[in-house]
Amino acid sequence: MEFAKVYEKSKVPQITAAFAKHSAESQFNISIPRPRSRENNPIRIVQPSAKGQFSMNPITSAKSKLGFVGVGYMGRPIARRLLEAGFKLAAYDRDRNKAQELIRYGGAVAKSVAELSSSCNVVLSCLPSDEAVLNIYRGPDGAFAHARRGSLVIDMSTVFPETSQELSRLGTERGVDVLDVTMSGSTPVAEQGALTLFGGGDQRCFDAAESIFRAIARKYFYVGPTGSGATMKLVANTLLGIGMQAIAEAVALGEKAGLDRHRLLDVLSQTAVVAPAHVGKLQRAMKGDYSPQFPLRLMKKDFWLILNLAAAVGAHMPATQVAFEVNAEQSAQGNEQDFSAVILQMEKQAHLDFTDEGRTQIGVRREKPV
């Protein structure tokens, strides 16, 4: 198998992460095999036996019990898909009401992370930040302290690669395998079971979890060792965020030049240059609908992670920096919006009539006095 070097620096600049109590300075050196989609082969998980040898046990809906931590925008539809696929699943969320929503689909509610991790052989998590991930897994009340030896953790959160590497280190100390399996797709895509997954960690464990991936994703790729899934997600979301910013600028340009807004958005959504992930955003913008499918604040967080990774590996990303700044300006308004609301921000900067809900005069170009 051929290996491609993702990044390698003998020394990286010191970066400060919001989730850390101190600055992180480390050496990145990850070798990644060419990604390949998975085939539906028999699923086996590697688990240590009492004699220290390895036995092979399949992950199946009949024999495996899943625990799910984080029932939010993405966690809820993913957990629901797993329940509908026949898996036994217990959920935990700081907001107990969110976890209880899964009861109607056959799910159970755990009172604590400790209770959940001690009763499951696979724990999945989908959390909003590095800090939240580390708080769930480490410490005397964390998932690792109560997890069964030989169990598997699949963290699906968008985090810094070093966080995934730290989880793997902590898991190894407790005899627990850890995968970082990140996702591409919004809430509606998750509801349809059509996500794209990027996996990092031990490939045997990734292969073993294929029954889980089949229930929630249309495509899933093993991309390399621990941290590779997290890295791939940041690469993919770079395109997602910059692409949305480019569309917002183009829309403002077209309006400023006198094009009918509704027709402009409709035509753009049907061109070859707009990615599938953005097509629905244009269609919703035509209705002035910026309700969150992928919240603006999470895109802002992802931009922050991307730029920190870029600083660590010495990558120059001017377009990403500008997109982050526009995103932050729109986020500062405070109300929860979809990341496509950067369209509103560019319309504002172009001195076009707008409201937070959408344009006030659809198809009518009216400039504000400068």
pLDDT tens-digit map of 307-339: 999 999 999 999 999 999 999 999 999 899 999
pLDDT band at 146 (very low <50, low <70, confident <90, very high): very high
State the CB neighbour count (10 A cutoff) for residue 170. Answer: 20
All domains of the chain in start order, with CATH: 27-226 (3.40.50.720), 233-349 (1.10.1040.10)
Mean pLDDT within 197-225: 97
- pLDDT per residue over 112-145, tens digit each? 999 999 999 999 999 999 999 999 999 999 999 9
Which H or E element spans position 69?
A: strand 65-69
Question: Above pLDDT 70, what percent of the chain?
Answer: 80
- pLDDT per residue over 212-261, tens digit each? 999 999 999 999 999 999 999 999 999 999 999 999 999 999 999 999 99
Q: What are the residues facing 333 on neighbouring strands?
A: none
Question: Above pLDDT 90, what percent of the chain?
Answer: 78
Contacts of 338 (CB under 8 A, 6+ apart): 281, 284, 290, 291, 292, 293, 294, 295, 296
How far apart CA 215 and CA 286 sit, in angstroms, is: 33
Quick one: pLDDT at residue 354?
53
Cβ–Cβ < 8 Å for 309, 161 = yes
Q: What is the mean pLDDT of the chain?
A: 85
Contacts of 90 (CB under 8 A, 6+ apart): 65, 66, 67, 68, 107, 108, 109, 110, 116, 119, 120
Spatial CA neighbour of 154 closest among 173, 141, 136, 131? 136
pLDDT band at 361 (very low <50, low <70, confident <90, very high): very low
Quick one: pLDDT at residue 345?
97
16-20, 57-61, 181-185, 333-337: the lowest-pLDDT one: 16-20
Quick one: pLDDT at residue 58?
72
